[in-house]
Structure 1
Amino acid sequence: MPLLLLDLDNTLLDRAGAFRVWGQAFLDSIGAPYDDIDWLVSIDADGLTDRWDLADAIRDRYQLRMSSIDLVEALHDGVVEHTRLDPLVACSLQIARDVGWVPVVVSNGAVRQQEAKIRRTGLDRYIADWVISEAAGVSKPNPRIFALAAESVRMRLRGAWMIGDSPEADIGGAAATGLPSVWLHRGRQWLDQRFTPTRQASGVIPAVAAVLAG
């Protein structure tokens, strides 16, 4: 039974889409110009910007009286609320399980938000377990978090694959751990010269198919 390690945001779940939907609704609620969604998406940097820094940037730009903590909570809750599990993604995970693979999520981020996404979308029904960096005390690309993911289901990393969209965290982490990987390019070109993914795919469904075929 090989181990299938998977990133969460913008791999199994469309975090970028959920953030954009929440962001547009939030900007509408404060009367911001419609085109400001592009600024908000840009400063969010695909979720890599610290939540508190993002909240401060929003408060400063629009001179909001809303506290940073309330804005961070609104962001967390709003992204979770608008996150959906694609039925085809669920189907691909079920197929992987049916042929003997063991899917485990390996995610950087806050436990409360990441677990809420996993449970609220029903993703927990299709994976064996998950490891989140805040709880693990270590984050991708550190090889330790991949070892913890294997330990969570009492398996070894030998024979495992990693699927994810982050060149540094997912593919770099897989390379540091000695694992083959599939990079979800999302329309981007691979630029890093330090390591390369074993495969590239346009989304998680063809990525899972590539792993199963390989």
Structure 2
Amino acid sequence: MTLLMMDLDNTLIDRDAAFRIGAAEFLAAHGLPAEDVDWVMSVDASGHVTRSVVSQAIIDRYDAGLDQDEVIAFLRRGAREHAHVTAETEAALRQTRAAGNQVVIVTNGAVPQQTGKITASGLDKLVDGWVVSEGVASRKPEPGIFHAAAETVGASLDGAWMIGDRDDADILGAHLLGLQSVWLHLGRNWTQSDYKPTYIADSVAEAIIHAGG
């Protein structure tokens, strides 16, 4: 039995695609230019920019009397409600768990938002558990969140894998603990010189199957 720890955003779910739909809905709801969705995406930077900064940038761009709390809530709702898992990823998750492996989601972020994505996408029925950084007071790449993930399912980190798209969170976290890792490259080249993933995958399904043996 192998423990597979998996990132959520832009790994198990296409967070950027979900956010893009939400951003387009937001622009339409406020009568703002539909073509500005690309600008919103650039400001959002795959969710790595804080919601307060993104919302303020939107408010500053338009003279539309927008309320910051409303903007933040709308953008979060879009990323959450439009989250989904591909059929290929679902099949790989079912296959690896049927083989006796355990899958735990390890994600940075706020508990309500990340848990909302997990349930909206149906991942709550496809994994054995999950940990969110806000809930365990530890963020990737810190060791604490990975230990919490293992404890969630009563597993050991011995022989465990971490799968994700972030070099500075997912792969670095695995490196710091001496764990095996799979990096989802998403069309990018690996650039870090101090550490590297055990394996580089083209797709989430490939990553799951590789780590699950």
Q: Bin the TM-score by the shorter chain.
A: over 0.9
Q: State the TM-score, normalizing by the size of structure 2.
A: 0.96
Partners of 1:64 and 1:54 lie apart in 2 by: 16
Percent identity between the two aligned chains:
43
Task: Tell me by how many angstroms 1:212 deviates.
Answer: 2.8
Partners of 2:2 and 2:90 lie apart in 1 by: 18
5+ residue gaps, structure 1, are none
Tell me the amino acid that sits aligned with residue 29 of structure 1.
A
Partners of 1:212 and 1:136 lie apart in 2 by: 26
2:39 corresponding residue in structure 1: 39
1:26 corresponding residue in structure 2: 26
Partners of 1:40 and 1:146 lie apart in 2 by: 32
Deviations 1:60-84 (A, max 9, x none): 1113322211111111111112111
5+ residue gaps, structure 2, are none
1:200 corresponding residue in structure 2: 200
Q: State the TM-score, normalizing by the size of structure 1.
A: 0.96
Q: Is 1:189 matched with 2:210?
A: no
User: How do 1:1-214 and structure 2 match up within 5 A?
Assistant: 1-213=1-213
Task: Tell me by how many angstroms 1:43 deviates.
Answer: 0.9
Task: Tell me by how many angstroms 1:47 deviates.
Answer: 0.5
Alignment coverage as a number of residue pairs: 213
Contact 2:2 2:212 in 1 (8 A): no
Partners of 1:106 and 1:20 lie apart in 2 by: 23
Task: Name the SS of the counterpart of 1:35 in structure 2.
Answer: helix
Task: Tell me by how many angstroms 1:191 deviates.
Answer: 0.5
Task: Name the SS of the counterpart of 2:5 in structure 1.
Answer: strand
Tell me the amino acid that sits aligned with residue 78 of structure 1.
G
Partners of 2:86 and 2:22 lie apart in 1 by: 18
The CA RMSD measured in Å over matched residues stands at 1.1
